[in-house]
Homo-oligomer: A and B are copies of this chain.
Amino acid sequence: MTDLLAAYPVIYETDVAWGEMDAFQHVNNIIYFRYFESARLHYFQQTPLLAEMEVTGVGPILHSIHCRYRFPLTFPDRVRVGVRVTEMAEDRITVHHRAVSARHNRIAAEGEGVVVMFDYRRNHKAALSPTLRAAIQRLEAVVSGQ
């Protein structure tokens, strides 16, 4: 069995809820973005991002996001979402998400989002802190074997 998430340093898992299916009897398209969001938060919890936000007021804001649906999820199933940061700029990161159906061992969806650092107190963009940047580099290094 191939590990479809081998390239992802952080993996978030959740059960598909029956009520997440829509009238076409597949998990509704917007729910994948909830899975992606929960997986991003799970990644962020392994960095100082959320703790820093409480002190500095600088936190993430979603700039844009995309999803390519590949295989429709249905209940019952367990979805495993891999997350990795594929790019870091001064004030933003690009995050890749891959959602895998545990029952079928197939990629259900993939998507990329751009997260901008935002100073919620001063209402403008902000730079990634050096500690956040280092934490992301450490997480990603584990996977790339550096």
Residues of A at the B interface (CB closer than 8 Å) are 14-15, 17-19, 21-25, 28-31, 33-34, 37-38, 41, 45, 59, 61-69, 75-76, 120
- In the complex, which residues of chain B have a beta carbon less than 8 angstroms from the beta carbon of A37? 17-19, 29-30
- In the complex, which residues of chain B have a beta carbon less than 8 angstroms from the beta carbon of A61? 24, 69
- In the complex, which residues of chain B have a beta carbon less than 8 angstroms from the beta carbon of A17? 14, 34, 37-38, 41
In the complex, what distance in Å separates the CA atom of A24 from the CA atom of B59?
A: 10
A27 to chain B, nearest CB (A): 10
CB within 8 A of A41: which of B18, B66, B69, B120? B18
The answer on a CB contact under 8 Å between A34 and B30 is yes
